[in-house]
């Protein structure tokens, strides 16, 4: 357990939204204190295994009898992190030469139940058993898609085809544009072998893209077993986000969330939690990224369906909790459409132990 300062006021305010009832305003005669406050306030977060579990506000006040430090939060009472909090406040008191310190209880998040969805665990277990039987730890795209379907995470319409004619038949159902991707259990990183074509807009581009992918794979990965080419509807008017899982040997599954593309690759704008997570945890993960305004609708853009991201995070949390053999998992991208229209997992990669 550790304490560190919360610099981002949004994290502070979002945490307080779901805290126990706050009564310190009356009991601490807050209005009188406000008149004397210096411009010095510390907002501390108390973390357990990387999760924010409680907060404490420290205020420096100049008065006739000296410098005071107050912690005007309640009404929890004895908290399991009070000892470490007291040690931190003593350090601060010495530094600020405070002559009087009074400790009040701290704010703590309400207990919240873990939400469980109606899912098909048997289907997932069957996929894992078959992969192990074939001595495979990296799942193929179709297997990974079926796992998402079992946990009711929406995926694009898709089909695996072996010839251009069948691909054309698929476009009669979905229309253009579409995406083409090589379907092979031996090819995990499709872009490395030229195995993806995005934005196919007509029959001519479809045939050209289909043949180019097959030629690329034959040249760069001739030994690969190829099931065919996966043709998918192309999701438009969306924000691209990413959900990742990495199993920590000590803490278990770590869930990562961020915006896709350069935001995660270059700016490292992501948030983390340890599974299983609550609905409040999922909302906090989304609010914590610096680029949250892009999801909320910056510069006149329509706001994205943030509630659908929350639901997807909870379903992924349930999946990796139900199946601790999942070592790594990436939904990249998770396409988030405008508010009320949901999210779709564009691509998924899963590795088991």
Parse the chain into domains and list their residue ranges: 2-108, 121-233
Q: How far apart are CA 166 and CA 19, in angstroms?
A: 56
Tell me the CATH architecture of domain 2-108. Answer: 3-Layer(aba) Sandwich (3.40)
Worst-scoring range by mean pLDDT, 94-108, 120-134, 146-160, 239-253? 94-108
pTM (2 d.p.):
0.68
Q: Spell out a b/e string for 20-40, using b for 16 or more CB atoms within 10 Å of the CB, else e.
A: beeebeeebeeeeeeeeeeee
- Residue 104: per-residue pLDDT: 46
- Residue 98: per-residue pLDDT: 65
Worst-scoring range by mean pLDDT, 265-269, 281-285, 286-290, 326-330? 265-269
Q: 125 or 40: whose pLDDT is higher? A: 125
Q: 349 or 56: whose pLDDT is higher? A: 349
Within 10 Å of residue 180's Cβ, how many Cβ atoms?
A: 25
pLDDT tops 90 at residue 326: yes
Worst-scoring range by mean pLDDT, 74-88, 108-122, 264-278? 74-88
- Specify which of 87-101, 116-130, 250-264 reaches the highest per-range mean pLDDT: 116-130
pLDDT tops 70 at residue 321: yes
Q: How far apart are CA 126 and CA 16, in angstroms?
A: 43
- Residue 302: per-residue pLDDT: 87
pLDDT tops 90 at residue 305: yes
pLDDT tops 60 at residue 183: yes
Give the CATH class of 121-233.
Answer: alpha beta
Q: 122 or 269: whose pLDDT is higher? A: 122
On average, the pLDDT of the chain sits at 81
């Amino acid at each position: 357990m550790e304490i560190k300062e919360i610099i981002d006021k949004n994290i502070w305010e979002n945490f307080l939204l779901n805290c126990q009832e706050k009564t310190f305003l009356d009991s601490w005669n807050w209005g009188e204190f406000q008149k004397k406050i210096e411009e010095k306030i510390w907002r501390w977060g108390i973390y357990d295994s990387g999760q924010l579990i409680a907060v404490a506000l420290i205020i420096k006040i100049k008065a006739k009898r000296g410098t005071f430090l107050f912690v005007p939060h309640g009404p929890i009472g004895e908290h399991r992190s009070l000892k470490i909090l007291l040690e931190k406040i003593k350090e601060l008191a010495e530094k600020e030469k405070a002559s009087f310190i009074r400790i009040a209880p701290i704010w703590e998040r309400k207990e919240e139940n873990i939400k469980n969805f109606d899912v098909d665990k048997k289907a997932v277990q069957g996929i894992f058993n078959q992969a192990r039987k074939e001595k495979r730890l990296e799942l193929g795209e179709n297997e990974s898609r079926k796992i998402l379907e079992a946990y009711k995470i929406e995926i694009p319409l898709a089909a695996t085809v072996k010839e251009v004619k069948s691909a054309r038949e698929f476009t009669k159902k979905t229309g253009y544009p579409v995406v083409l991707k090589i379907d092979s259990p031996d090819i995990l990183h499709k872009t490395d072998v030229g195995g993806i074509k995005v934005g196919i807009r007509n029959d001519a581009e479809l045939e050209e893209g289909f043949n180019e992918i097959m030629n690329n794979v034959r040249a760069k990965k001739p030994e690969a077993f190829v099931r065919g080419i996966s043709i998918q509807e192309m999701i438009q008017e969306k924000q691209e986000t990413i959900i990742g899982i990495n199993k920590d040997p000590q803490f278990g599954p770590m869930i990562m969330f961020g915006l896709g593309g350069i935001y995660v690759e270059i700016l490292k704008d992501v948030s983390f939690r340890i599974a299983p997570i609550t609905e409040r945890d999922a909302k906090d993960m989304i609010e914590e990224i610096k680029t949250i305004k892009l999801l909320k609708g910056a510069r006149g853009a329509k706001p994205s369906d943030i509630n659908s991201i929350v639901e997807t995070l909870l379903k992924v949390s349930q999946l990796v909790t139900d199946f601790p053999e999942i070592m790594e998992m990436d939904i990249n991208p998770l396409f988030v459409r405008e508010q009320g229209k949901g999210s779709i997992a564009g691509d998924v990669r899963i590795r088991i132990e």
